[in-house]
Amino acid sequence: MSKLSQLFKEKPNRLCSVYFTSGYPKLNDTGAIVKNLEAAGVDFLEVGLPYSDPMADGPTIQHTSSVALENGINLDVIFNQLEAIKNDIHIPLIAMGYFNQVVRYGAEKFCEKCQSVGIETLVLPDMPMIEYENTYKALFAKYGLSNVFLITPQTSEERIKKIDEMTDDAFIYVVASSSITGAKGSISDEQIAYFNRIKSYNLKSTLIAGFGISSKETFDTVCSHVNGAIIGSAFVKHVGAHGVNSIDAFVKNIIA
């Protein structure tokens, strides 16, 4: 059983995940960020793999990716950073990047590296489902990697149920709005209706929402409708302004 599956078994609700951009604010901050987030009580982490064309990301994360790339971050550096701390980290690690990065790096080499550093789950928003089914599902399974698919308010019931069938040892990433990432002030009635519609399908998979969760209020609201939430833009903005030593206070303010 993967760490993520074990976590979901032990804690089915109010799951808190944080996305961070590797190599930001400084190139070598990754290890400190991971350790501080675990110590603060985050349930699992989304390790952002900076990319030059991050189509799903809003201005905040795009900016942090640009800074990280300028700092000299790349996949080899990230894997080396995670390798250095893997024996100190006990919560699940997810890699969030883009399919093109995997292809350019070499898919099998990428999977080998993920397995080596303790990454068990991947989020690749631009990977076509047919590519996953025909090629990458077997490759990921070879290295003990699960895949996370994203759904949006426009995703059909048929596709959502197919994604549910293909989701093993992971979760369905419920995109909370029809937009790129970015902090929002509140959760709308329209979004709540969307969450309730997804729940009405009685899916087997854990539902984790992302995009727009930025405060205790939005976290609590989302968690009353799905199993948990991912905080991204608000966190990278905070750590960029206040540094890695401010992480505990940020997390406690969200999940307290």
Which residues form the catalytic set?
46, 57
In the DSSP assignment, the letter for residue 87 is G
Contacts of 217 (CB under 8 A, 6+ apart): 186
Distance from C-alpha of 217 to C-alpha of 3, rounded to nearest angstrom: 28
Q: Is 124 helix (H, G, I), strand (E, B) or coil?
A: coil
Query: Which residue from 210, 236, 180, 182 is spatially nearest to 55, judged by alpha carbons?
Result: 180
Q: 190 to each of 151, 176, 193, 203, 219, how far by Cα in Å?
A: 16, 10, 5, 20, 16
Return the half-sphere exposure (C-beta side, CA atoms, 13 A cut-off) of residue 111.
Answer: 16
What's the gap between Cα 235 and its chain centre?
A: 13
Residues linked to residue 147 through DSSP beta bridges, in sequence order? 122
- The answer to whether 11 touches 128, Cβ cutoff 8 Å, is no
Q: 58 to each of 69, 137, 156, how far by Cα in Å?
A: 16, 28, 24
- The answer to whether 15 touches 45, Cβ cutoff 8 Å, is no
* Number of H-type helices and E-type strands within the chain: 13, 9
